[in-house]
Chains A and B, each alone.
Chain A
Amino acid sequence: MKKLLIASTLLISTSALADAPGSQTCGWGNMLFAGQSGTPSHVLAATTNNSTGNNTFGMTFGTNGCSTKGTLTYGGKEMIDVSMIMDEFSEDVARGDGEALTAVAVSLGVSEADRELFKSTLHNNFNTLFPSEEATTEHVVSSMFSLMKSDENLAKYTV
């Protein structure tokens, strides 16, 4: 039990140093439609409501072997781990709106006034962000930052 507590302490304290993309532990190489692991049928599993979550209470992820918490940094800027929501995000960008897109905007600190601009900028550049089905999260995020940097109203959110 003690061990567990110590481990949880470590997890929370190191989480202040969010993983940078491309680091050893974290490949932002996730591609679109990577599929899901897990049991499709929960007929029996329903008796336990087993949770995939982490029993240390920092906002941690244990499922992608990538980050130790919900946010990553990109160029020092903290944001949601897009690799976790690649499918939802790509769909929202294609459609021009949606919760995944909003979540990315909020995590980058894009104010409500600039939210529409942010969304339409990404929406209108779908082909840049997602040139093919082999586009990696890293490509998507770096293209998104480039797009934002070249927009006078969105540039401020990249630093």
Chain B
Amino acid sequence: MKVKAVLLSIAFFIFISPNADSQDYVNSAQLAKTEQWRALLHINMQTEGSALESYVDDANFFLASDGNTNPENELLATIAALKVQDDIQCKFPARTSFLLENIEGLAKEVVPFHCQEYKDWRKKLNTSKVVLVFASAQLNSPSSMYGHTFLRFDPDNVEQGSTYLSYALNFGASVTEGDAGFLYAAKGLTGGYPGHFSANPYFEKIKEYNRLENRDLWEYELNLTQTEIDTMLAHVWELQGINFEYFFFDENCSFRLLELLDVARPGLYLAKNFPVTAMPLDTVRVVQEGDLITQTQYRPSILTELKAQLAMLSDEESELALALSQDIEVLNSESFIKLSKVQQQSVVDSAYRYLRYQNTFNGRPKETTRRSFLLLRRLNENKTKLVIPIEQPGRPDLGHKTAMVGFSLGQNLDKSFAEIKYRGSYHDLLDPMSGYYTGMSLNMVNLMVRLYDGGDVKLEKAELLDIVSLSARNDYFSPWSWKANISVEQQWTMDKEVLVTQGSGGGGVSYQPLENSYVFLLATGRLEFNRKLDTYASVAPGLQAGFLYYWPISTLLVDAEHYQFLFDQTQRSRVSIEQSVELGINDSIRFSANFHRVESNTHENKSFQEFKLEYRHYF
């Protein structure tokens, strides 16, 4: 509608105005306000006046000296440059076509220029389909739970199975070499690195995510038309070598991709959904809700494939495969030879995959390399074809939404309460499972306020961060499980509840004694700031053990925790039972019972219980 209005007014001004310059001027004022122009300059549509500012952080992207804050001046400068400078058409092909289409008469003044490089690039890409790729969480790395997104451009003749050769476009931070660890993370969070777009063949991305990081990939084919794809690519070309600021939470990979989609299809205005944070998973959801997705492909990681392969083996075959991965002579053992051809092939295939998985980062040790090769040759000699059935899990974009409110009624210390809870993101161990990984929990910004019988209102807990990562160990894999938590919370100290600040973490092991279950044992450490303890800052080592079981729409967690403060000998113990039931994708209820005991040398011991029934809505 807006566009139409602009076009109408353009036509109107051309008709009535005898002066070409002033006509341009009025047109430009209105054109500069359009979504298309703002999108081309990466200026937020919802800002006005002095708040106007482009996300682009690079003088090279603007022709007017104040182009990053003044879209109209930038438009005028672009028009002026187009009239006198041929290569501007090649540098800004999307702006050029937008202006030529929308300013009548401009085409007469701009001499068409043959942009060889740009033409070659477009010809090479030969794009007829755009695919949004979502890299899901990495095992044991909840920080990657937020995922990552990038675009893939498929050529005309792409046939199933040759997307290896497609072109992948990624937005990421350019990291200074030598920065490591927390500096790296901190700079990524705070905008310390510039961000830019970069291109790879898709097989490099497959290698990076599927193989090196063991992350499953989801490929969402988009229904962009050829014209929309043309516009998008013309604009992508304009971003070559251009710097943006990069922020992990908002101005990240996903936000930039939404901007590209907004350029391609004006009026979508997807980026507006993320004024504060843009979590890659949520951006996929927005694209899905915008009816842009036609088809979905799941590309399991190397590890997912390996685990599916191992799951097909009998106990005996599993032992043989493990032995074979360590000693090639197992091929000549009686227990191997007596297997059928098919069984032999799956044992060899498992051993080969496992060996390669184990040595992803080990270079070329002579022995392993030799064994890998002999296994590969054996795979080739045995002509039995194996099919590893890998069921496509629930689509991450169709799982429960990531913000949550909860309402509960309960009893604590023999007093009844009503509680309201808000969680910024994302998923805990008992939330509905479809689209999420088992054993992983990542929550940021979690607030709980209680109204007690009698009118007392209490902040029960304000949690900044809560991570649990359970990775099961078995004969083949030996990952660590861990957790981390930072919060302000109520703790019974001496004779009453006290609001304390604490940071805690733990590391240990977990196993899967039954399918769909975990048992875990963690050694924990806690730092608590509590004015009622003998020392204000106290440290407490401890232990936590638990059992987690997943049914299709219900999850049970039973766990026990004990820790003792080093200086004043206060000890706390807790046993909890929690069970959740999914009501729908975005609704669940859960019941919890907690039994607490606080023991101290200097005060009376205290035992108390808390029971709670909670309704949760995800939005």
Which A residues have a C-beta under 8 Å from some C-beta of B? 1-2, 4-5, 8-9, 12-13, 16, 31-38, 40-61, 63, 70, 80, 84-85, 87-88, 90-91, 93-96, 99-100, 102-103, 105-107, 112, 123, 126-127, 130, 132-133
Contact = CB atoms under 8 A, between A and B. Distances in A.
Nearest to A85: B203
B605 interface: no
Interface string B240-252: 1100001010001
Interface stretch (B28-36, B328-336, B354-362, B533-541): B354-362
Nearest to B138: A42
Contact of A46 (B117, B144, B169, B196): B144
A96 B384 CA distance: 11
Contacts of A31: 364
A36 B379 CA distance: 23
23 contacts: A2-B60, A32-B373, A34-B363, A36-B211, A47-B184, A48-B248, A53-B198, A55-B199, A57-B169, A60-B199, A61-B200, A61-B201, A63-B204, A70-B165, A85-B203, A88-B203, A88-B207, A94-B379, A99-B163, A100-B164, A112-B159, A123-B380, A130-B373
B356 A87 contact: yes
Contacts of A5: 60, 241
Given A31-B364, A36-B360, A53-B204, A44 B58 contact: no
Nearest to A90: B376
Contacts of B171: 49, 51
Contacts, number: 198
B572 interface: no
B579 interface: no
A50 B199 contact: no
Contacts of A99: 161-164, 203
Contacts of A37: 361
B146 A56 contact: no
Interface of B: 58-60, 117, 120-121, 124, 138, 141, 143-144, 146, 148, 159, 161-165, 167-175, 181-182, 184-185, 187-189, 193, 196-201, 203-204, 207-208, 211-213, 236-237, 240-241, 246, 248, 252-253, 356, 359-364, 368-370, 372-373, 376-377, 379-380, 385
A49 B124 contact: no
B212 A50 contact: no
B58 A93 contact: no
B359 A35 contact: yes
B362 A35 contact: yes
A34 B373 contact: no
Contact of A47 (B58, B163, B189, B240): B189
Q: Which of A45, A48, A91, A105 is packed against the most chain B CB atoms within 10 Å?
A: A48
